[in-house]
Chains A and B, each alone.
Chain A
């Protein structure tokens, strides 16, 4: 019995080590490096690298990443909800339903390449516009990729995610018996607008919120898509950290580690809050 208990504890320790140890080691090293306590350039404890985050590039990058992540998830959710509420019976037809799975087969780097080929100055949209006489050349086509507003990144995120959100929403519609609930509300005198605003949207948004929040966190750290479709300034978090690390200026390395540390802490805090808040409701 005692041996069995120790064996269980041993396995649990291995599980914990496999899940948490790499993160602990990684975060620990990055934090210590950024505080000047380890690494080739280590010169004793310093907060200078953290202080550098307060001004300029890091702040802009965090704000830009948050804006892109929020805009992406809101747009994807908006598109998914609009399609669901406007054309649900058609979406449930097998052929259309199957189509919604297509973007799940696209790796982000490939999706970014496709959007570049579609929306760049020399892309398909620009060529079609030239043939229609709308633009006179690649330079005259509006900048939809590698633009300062992150339009290309937001559109690609939306393309990849809205079908999955739509699949989840269709599932929620069934599980929450929204069809029946809507009919009950209508029979009690609620108009079409009230049914949508008072019955359908609250239940759908409540159900989709944790997934949307997770996507926000994922988009915050997106790398592949911003690498291809992002402008040189402002840059998304992951791209900025990698650029700082791979530059020839060695003084940038501790700053890059400081950025990575704070980004990781932000993610951990977000997921911890989400998890503790929604664990019971979603039986996580």
Chain B
């Protein structure tokens, strides 16, 4: 490898490592005034503050974990069974196209257009409303994710169990689940991350009353508090980073945008 190639890869590695390192660095910093780079005080007080019971960030962390967990559980389960029906009982490709539509429009614009119905249902500004709005995006994603799973081999295995007298529960237990388990876990984490990363839709439907971690990051940015914004950022990055260490398949998606 030439020096230029080595330099290129080194620069790339630096660019990729800087964001998490800077977040961690700022979360331990205080009075980081211009032009100081390293010569400012460091502190653990922000982290101690987060650790206190009742701190807003701790509550946000709990809320985000619960919200994303619930959204991904519902989306994965519903998407799994819905995709089976789409794959087995429809021939027109336009059914699948219908699942792509909600997924490509910017979530925040979708929220703008959908908000009137949530307002009438009394769901705007509630956790249930944000959940429902996030499901509008994550459910089609799960449908698309599982659609390719339902192939001839799975169908043949279902028929095999049926010919041996198995009902739907037995078909699910012996023919479907053993093959689908791994995919279901990946889909769960991917829909979890879509919900976990979501800001615009959550802020608009939640009108600030559903303070997830992404909402808190923006709140601290607006308050010009880079230390707490960085700390909230670290809390946001930590779970996906953990997933990356466990199994990188949880993070890589077959078709999607980061935005």
Contacts and interface: CB of A to CB of B under 8 A. Distances in A.
Interface of A: 8, 11-12, 14-16, 18-20, 22-23, 25-27, 29-30, 82-83, 86-87, 89-91, 96, 98-111, 113-114, 116-118, 122, 124, 126-128, 130-131, 137-138, 157, 159-161, 163-164, 167, 211, 214-215, 217-225, 227-228, 237-238, 241-242, 245, 256-257, 260-261, 263-264, 267-268, 270-272, 275-276, 279, 283-284
B113 A127 contact: no
Contacts of B112: 30, 241-242, 245, 256-257, 260
A161 B97 contact: no
22 contacts: A19-B98, A29-B116, A30-B113, A87-B5, A87-B9, A90-B1, A90-B9, A98-B244, A105-B240, A110-B19, A127-B34, A127-B37, A130-B35, A131-B35, A138-B34, A164-B252, A214-B256, A218-B257, A224-B200, A245-B112, A263-B105, A264-B105
Contacts of A86: 4-5, 8
Given A105-B241, A137-B34, A242-B108, 15 more contacts: A12-B89, A26-B110, A26-B117, A29-B117, A105-B240, A106-B19, A107-B196, A109-B199, A114-B18, A128-B37, A160-B258, A215-B257, A221-B105, A272-B97, A279-B93
A16 B98 contact: yes
Contacts of B199: 107-109, 223-224
Interface stretch (B20-28, B43-51, B156-164, B174-182): B20-28
B251 A104 contact: yes
A197 to B, nearest CB: 20
Interface of A is mostly: helix
B85 A8 contact: yes
A25 B230 contact: no
Contacts of A87: 1, 5, 8-9
Interface of B is mostly: helix
B257 A284 contact: no
A272 B100 CA distance: 9
A225 B221 CA distance: 12
Interface residues of B, number: 81
Contacts of A242: 108, 112, 200, 204
Contact of B139 (A18, A83, A98, A225): A18
Nearest to A259: B109
